[in-house]
């Protein structure tokens, strides 16, 4: 056995050119059969495994591949399907699996929310009773597939029982502890079946350990893993953590498992300090996450080798495994396809395949298989990027120094602003609006692609965009929506669009990552100092406003969201990068206002997802986020109404920071959480405009009016009706035109009915 081995925690599912996405959507559109779908996904899955083997990875994950989401995979393995999907037991069939994730005409989809502080979304399991059966051991099936098809020994990956329950909705009436205990026999059965097939290592992910962990949690972990160790003693369990350092190192490394996976990238040096101080139990494996699995920058391998050298001394020979800090699900597949990147930048970037190369190089050097010179190129690439003019813009640095440490504040307080705005716009009670985007049809995408390729003249493309705006302004007027949007037909993505027009950003051609389901995003790369160049949204928004007497919102993506949904540079602080973006957006806000656009929405859907896993870091992060948002919006006149939007999150913990944003109107996703967010406002007085999304746009179904009526009624039980807005959960870009119009028609009808009831109510 080598002194140091290499391992991977997880690999991107989507394929180099999103073949996975195309296969899924073709099946959902009924243009391919189930057999064709499964065959194409199998090919992607096996290709991923073979690539990792060819790269030289010793421990290759299996079970990390999913048809939609790995948390949903775990749920259906135990037959956990909500009753509304009429599941009758046994292995969950493919269409039921997709129905839980996407909904049907008669059943709403399960809730979807962020995977810790990442931009990946998982389907939240609904557990109504303690599980009794392992209905499908999918990781065993996938392990056997890799062995039979490729003759490759793999490492099954499962989501651990404690994290799984904590990520779920417990609707059983059992305590969390007792519900976790009910899963142990089923996990034991799963491991026994793996043991019978001579599986050597199983990676058990328990990411909750990198957050706030109680003594009771640690006691329960000890109990759970002691039972699993007894159940399958010949299987080596690697307890995997990621995204942060663990606080309870001593307790965790002494759990009855054979290996512990720790993050040595996002730990602020804490993991190495813990190993140095407390050591590692004899014979136990340390899987050290030394290559960043969440960002795309090449590591300075000479610096990383210093950590490897220290760990090699601190743990016994053969006890060290090198791996990414987390699953590579969060980064694109390969840089090799990026032929248009500037060479100095391409040399400094590392996607999934390149990260595996980095790991193998470090392991080879540690095992004296290769000379240390192989590490020098990475150090030079990092140095060259840091010294480039793009990262040393003196004008941007001067602007940052100018704002100093003062907290940006609008000149007029919120209540007075809302009075002035209502006086100006005369909004009806319960005004209706949408979040921003309208369906991007195949024709819209094709026209944009042709224009980008030079196959369509700019004048023709601009006329096409204006025609789309005209069409949807009329649709909105016919639907009698109160505040309109131009539809964002010129935009590929709500972050990419702005990044393309700001200095300091670069875009890839195939740098896609999974966000939710088949939805993939291509995060911009923030590689240099960010600066405003010229107006970005004014032309289309001003055109739309000229076509109607109703107000049209200007639509921008906020600084924190642009940061969180990009691959940001790491050579300067997060706060500095976010404030650079905020200052650039402020200029765009001012340009919109100059053109008479006096409702401006600065979306911040990603504030909650960036929340640190450690409570002690939360206050600083939220303060930074609030100040950046304010920095981008404070210069407008009191009559200019600032909107913002957030989605997919448990907001109770940050309700005060939402208030502190000082936006005039905020819209928040709430339909998939069935109105649970509303409880946050029962104990918090919110004196600004607010719209709690009244229907779920991520499902293709058109909501019944009764569903929207219930959501409105529940909201009005705790919110001031004079402050309440009615809107969908999120943008409508991914929906079809017909379903969008019908859903909005139902929404407006529900709003008018609620408005009439409020006007005629004796109260």
How crowded is residue 340: how many other Cβ atoms within 10 Å of its Cβ? 10
3-class SS shares of the chain: helix, strand, coil, % to 5: 45, 15, 40
Does residue 431 share a domain with residue 322?
no
**Residues 525, 349: Cα–Cα separation, whole Å:** 10
**Residues 468, 442: Cα–Cα separation, whole Å:** 13
Domain assignment present for 379: no
Does residue 725 share a domain with residue 645?
yes
Give kind and range of the element (H or E) at residue 349: none
Domain tally, the chain: 2
Residues in binding site for 5-methyltetrahydropteroyltri-L-glutamate: 18-21, 114, 519-520, 565, 609
Q: Residue 680's domain spans which residues?
A: 394-758
Model pLDDT, residue 401: 84
Residues 281 and 254 sit within 8 Å (Cβ to Cβ)? yes
Domain assignment present for 547: yes
As averages over each run of 10 residues, the pLDDT of the chain (763 residues) reads: 92 97 97 97 98 98 98 98 95 97 93 90 96 96 98 98 98 97 98 98 97 96 98 98 96 97 97 96 96 97 96 93 98 96 94 98 95 91 92 89 79 94 96 93 92 94 96 97 96 88 95 95 95 96 97 97 95 94 96 97 88 91 94 95 80 82 89 60 82 81 89 88 92 90 95 92 59
Three-state SS letters, 368-392: CCCCHHHHHHHHHHHHHHHCCHHHC
Does residue 323 share a domain with residue 219?
yes
Q: DSSP letter at 612?
A: -
Phi first, then psi, for residue 505 (nearest 5°) are: -110, 150
Model pLDDT, residue 329: 98
Domain assignment present for 453: yes
Does residue 319 share a domain with residue 449?
no
Does residue 415 share a domain with residue 279?
no
Domain containing residue 316: CATH number: 3.20.20.210
Model pLDDT, residue 763: 55
Strand-pairing partners, residue 567, are 525
Residues in binding site for L-homocysteine: 435-437, 488, 603
**Residues 171, 230: Cα–Cα separation, whole Å:** 30
Cβ contacts of 88 within 8 Å, gap of 6 or more: none
Does residue 325 share a domain with residue 407?
no
Q: Is 698 a catalytic residue?
A: yes
Domain assignment present for 380: no
Buried b (16+ CB within 10 A) or exposed e, 125-141: bbbeeebeebbbbbbbe
Written as six digits, the tokens of 472 are: 């949807």
Residue 548 DSSP SS3: coil
Domain assignment present for 350: no
Residues 155 and 61 sit within 8 Å (Cβ to Cβ)? yes
Model pLDDT, residue 711: 87
How crowded is residue 303: how many other Cβ atoms within 10 Å of its Cβ? 12
Model pLDDT, residue 683: 72
**Residues 576, 671: Cα–Cα separation, whole Å:** 35
Does residue 331 share a domain with residue 398?
no
Residues 679 and 655 sit within 8 Å (Cβ to Cβ)? no
Domain boundary among 337, 353, 383: 337
Residues 604 and 645 sit within 8 Å (Cβ to Cβ)? yes
Domain boundary among 321, 337, 353: 337
Written as six digits, the tokens of 93 are: 């069939």
Does residue 428 share a domain with residue 284?
no
Domain assignment present for 56: yes
232-237: long-range contacts at Cβ-Cβ below 8 A with a sequence spacing of 24 or more? 232/188, 232/191, 232/192, 232/194, 232/195, 233/195, 234/195, 235/191, 235/194, 235/195, 235/199, 235/200, 235/201, 235/202, 236/200, 236/201, 236/202, 236/285, 237/191, 237/201, 237/202, 237/204
Burial class (CB in 10 A: 0-12, 13-18, 19+), 172: middle
Domain boundary among 337, 363, 379: 337
Domain assignment present for 381: no
Look up the pTM and report it.
0.89
Q: Dihedral sign, CA of 443, 448, 452, 454? A: positive
**Residues 187, 201: Cα–Cα separation, whole Å:** 15
Does residue 414 share a domain with residue 328?
no
Does residue 278 share a domain with residue 415?
no
Does residue 146 share a domain with residue 246?
yes
**Beta strand ranges found along 160-258 (DSSP E):** 169-170, 201-205, 236-240
Model pLDDT, residue 673: 55
Does residue 415 share a domain with residue 317?
no
How crowded is residue 300: how many other Cβ atoms within 10 Å of its Cβ? 18
Model pLDDT, residue 674: 47
Domain assignment present for 343: no
């Amino acid at each position: 056995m080598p002194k140091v081995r290499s391992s991977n925690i997880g690999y991107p599912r989507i394929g180099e050119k999103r073949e996975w996405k195309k296969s899924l959507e073709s099946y959902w559109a009924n243009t391919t059969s189930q057999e064709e779908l499964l065959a194409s996904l199998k090919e992607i899955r096996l290709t991923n495994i073979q690539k990792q083997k060819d790269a030289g990875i010793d421990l290759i994950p299996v079970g990390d591949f999913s048809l939609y989401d790995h948390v949903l995979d775990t749920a259906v393995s135990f037959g956990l399907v909500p009753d509304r999907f009429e599941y009758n037991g046994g292995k969950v069939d493919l269409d039921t699996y997709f129905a839980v994730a996407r909904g049907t005409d008669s059943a709403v989809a399960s809730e979807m929310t962020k995977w810790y502080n990442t931009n990946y979304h998982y389907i939240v399991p609904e557990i109504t009773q303690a599980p009794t059966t392992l209905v499908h051991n999918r990781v065993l099936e996938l392990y056997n597939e890799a062995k039979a098809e490729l003759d490759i020994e793999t490492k099954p990956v499962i989501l651990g029982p404690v994290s799984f329950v904590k990520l779920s909705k417990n609707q059983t009436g059992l305590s969390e502890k007792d519900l976790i205990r009910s899963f142990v026999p089923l996990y034991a059965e799963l491991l026994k079946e793996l043991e019978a097939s001579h599986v050597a290592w199983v990676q058990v992910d328990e990411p909750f350990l990198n957050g706030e962990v109680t003594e009771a949690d640690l006691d329960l972990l000890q109990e759970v893993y002691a039972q699993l160790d007894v159940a399958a003693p010949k299987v080596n369990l690697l307890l995997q953590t990621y995204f942060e350092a663990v606080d309870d190192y001593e307790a965790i490394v002494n759990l009855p498992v054979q290996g512990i996976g720790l993050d040595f990238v996002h730990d602020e040096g804490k993991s190495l300090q813990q190993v140095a101080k407390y050591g590692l139990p004899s014979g136990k494996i340390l899987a050290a996450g030394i290559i960043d699995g969440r960002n795309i920058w090449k590591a300075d391998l000479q610096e990383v080798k210093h950590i490897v050298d220290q760990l090699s001394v601190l743990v016994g020979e053969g006890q060290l495994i090198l791996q990414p800090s987390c699953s590579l699900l969060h980064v694109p597949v390969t840089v090799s396809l990026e032929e248009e990147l500037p060479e100095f930048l391409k040399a400094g970037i590392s996607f999934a395949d390149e990260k595996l190369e980095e790991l193998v190089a470090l392991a080879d050097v540690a095992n004296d298989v290769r000379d240390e010179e192989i590490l020098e190129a990475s150090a030079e690439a990092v140095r060259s990027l840091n010294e480039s003019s793009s990262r040393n813009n003196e004008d941007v640095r001067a602007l940052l120094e100018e704002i100093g440490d003062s907290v940006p504040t609008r000149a007029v307080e919120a209540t007075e602003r809302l009075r002035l705005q209502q006086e100006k716009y005369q909004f009806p009670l319960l005004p209706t609006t949408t979040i921003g985007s309208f369906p991007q049809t195949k024709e819209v995408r094709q026209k944009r692609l042709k224009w980008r390729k030079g196959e369509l003249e700019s004048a023709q493309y601009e006329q096409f965009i204006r025609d789309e705006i005209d069409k949807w302004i009329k649709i909105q007027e016919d639907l009698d929506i109160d505040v309109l949007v131009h539809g964002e037909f010129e935009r590929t993505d709500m972050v990419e669009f702005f990044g393309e027009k700001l200095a300091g950003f670069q875009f890839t051609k195939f740098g896609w990552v999974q966000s939710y389901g088949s939805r993939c995003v291509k995060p911009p790369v923030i590689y240099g100092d960010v600066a405003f160049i010229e107006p970005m949204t004014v032309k289309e928004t001003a055109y739309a406003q000229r076509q109607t007497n109703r107000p049209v919102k200007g639509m921008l993506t906020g600084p924190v969201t642009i940061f969180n949904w990009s691959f940001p540079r790491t050579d300067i602080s997060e706060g500095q990068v976010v404030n650079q973006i905020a200052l650039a957006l402020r200029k765009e806000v001012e340009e919109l206002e100059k053109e008479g656009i006096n409702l401006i929405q600065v979306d911040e859907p990603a504030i909650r997802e960036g929340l640190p896993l450690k409570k002690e870091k939360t206050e600083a992060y939220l303060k930074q986020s609030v100040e950046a948002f304010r920095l981008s919006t404070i210069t407008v006149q009191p009559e200019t109404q600032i909107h913002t939007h957030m989605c997919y999150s448990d907001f109770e913990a940050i309700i005060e920071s939402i208030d502190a944003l000082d936006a005039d109107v905020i819209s928040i996703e709430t339909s998939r959480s069935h109105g649970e967010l509303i409880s946050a406002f029962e104990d918090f007085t919110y004196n600004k405009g607010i719209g709690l999304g009244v229907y779920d746009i991520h499902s293709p179904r058109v909501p019944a009016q009764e569903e929207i009526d219930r959501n409105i009624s529940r909201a009005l039980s705790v919110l001031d009706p004079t402050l309440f807005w009615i809107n969908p959960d999120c943008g409508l870009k991914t929906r079809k035109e017909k379903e969008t119009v019908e859903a909005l028609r139902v929404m407006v009808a529900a709003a008018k009915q609620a408005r009439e009831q409020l006007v005629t109510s004796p109260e």
